[in-house]
């Protein structure tokens, strides 16, 4: 997945999450958990997860490591994370 393509996926996912304020804190927590160290020093200068992790997650979810997650899938995953965090506290 190229940097420009990844940036588009991130932008669409960000827009989907921005429309759901209840997920903002969950999204920031997950972003911090998955962002590689010193992400601001490497192109595309965005806190994207390591390529290997993104490919693994795509392969386990879609059966193809080259398919990026859809914004709807990101929202569902964040809803799950939010529910899981709420039940743990």
pLDDT tens column, 25-54: 999 999 899 888 998 998 878 887 888 888
> In this prediction, what percent of the chain has a pLDDT beyond 90?
52
> How many Å apart are CA 22 and CA 41, to the nearest integer?
31
Mean pLDDT of the chain: 88
- Closest CA relative to residue 49, chosen from 67, 30, 61, 36: 36
Long-range pairs of 72-75 with CB within 8 A, sequence gap ≥ 24: 72/16, 74/13, 74/16, 74/17, 75/16, 75/17, 75/20, 75/23
Domain extent at residue 70: 3-88
pLDDT the model gives residue 4: 73
pLDDT at 12 over 60: yes
pLDDT value of residue 5 = 72
Number of domains in the chain: 1
């Amino acid at each position: 997945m190229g940097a420009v393509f990844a940036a588009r996926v991130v932008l669409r996912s960000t827009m989907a999450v921005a429309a759901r304020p209840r997920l903002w804190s969950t999204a920031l927590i997950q972003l911090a958990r998955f962002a590689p160290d010193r992400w601001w020093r490497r192109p595309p200068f965005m806190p994207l997860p390591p390529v290997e992790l993104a490919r693994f997650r795509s392969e386990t979810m879609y059966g193809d490591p080259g398919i990026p997650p859809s914004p709807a899938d990101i929202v569902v995953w964040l809803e799950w994370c939010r529910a899981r965090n709420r039940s743990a506290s």
